[in-house]
């Protein structure tokens, strides 16, 4: 059962990525311009031609998943490297107090919601996992049990 605080954090995180994803696609409001090394980095990504459309579509889809409470652990897993990257850019390339504060808040939301869903991550975090192929008799027996 999701607590009110977890629900609020999940919805806020979902809104951040959904809104910024839609903005990246439709350009509804201007984003602050970057300077120096950050501007060079962003220009390099933009020059690829594919990176930002892919990124903003990903933001929109994963933000919508968080808002709809569907595939939340998957969305959190896919967003984790994005959030780390956002913090790194604001820490190393564009160090402004306001930008870093927002990036750290998004990081806090990500970690908090992931911690709230930690049971879903336990199988991924095992050092060793027993591999059972899909064609294993136990799987066939399970599938046959579900079919009846």
106-139 tens-digit pLDDT: 999 999 999 999 999 998 888 887 777 767 666 5
Prediction pTM value = 0.83
**What average pLDDT does range 3-8 have in this prediction?**
96
pLDDT of residue 139: 59
pLDDT of residue 138: 62
89 or 2, greater pLDDT: 89
Per-domain boundaries in the chain? 4-147
**Predicted confidence (pLDDT) per residue in 51-107, tens digit:** 999 999 999 999 999 999 999 999 999 999 999 999 999 999 988 888 899 999 999
Contact 70/25 with Cβ under 8 angstroms? Answer: no
Q: Residues with Cβ < 8 Å from 75, sequence gap 6 or more?
A: 62, 65, 66
Q: How confident is the model at residue 148 (pLDDT cuts 50, 70, 90)?
A: low
What token pair was written down for 83? 């959030």
Distance separating alpha carbons of residues 104 and 82, to the nearest angstrom? 13
Q: How confident is the model at residue 144 (pLDDT cuts 50, 70, 90)?
A: low
Contact 109/63 with Cβ under 8 angstroms? Answer: no
């Amino acid at each position: 059962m999701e607590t009110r605080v977890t629900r609020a954090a999940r919805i806020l995180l979902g809104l951040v990525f959904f809104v910024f994803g839609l903005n990246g696609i439709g350009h509804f409001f201007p984003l602050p311009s970057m300077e120096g090394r950050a501007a060079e980095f962003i220009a390099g990504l933009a020059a690829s031609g594919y990176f930002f459309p892919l990124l903003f579509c990903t933001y929109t889809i994963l933000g919508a998943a968080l808002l709809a409470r569907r595939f939340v652990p998957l969305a959190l897993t896919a967003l984790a490297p994005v959030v780390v990257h956002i913090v790194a850019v604001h820490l190393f390339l564009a160090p402004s107090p306001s930008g870093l504060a927002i990036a750290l808040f998004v990081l806090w939301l990500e970690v908090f919601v992931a911690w709230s869903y930690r049971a879903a991550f336990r199988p991924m975090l095992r050092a060793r996992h027993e591999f059972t192929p899909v064609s294993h008799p136990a799987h066939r027996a399970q599938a046959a049990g579900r079919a009846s």
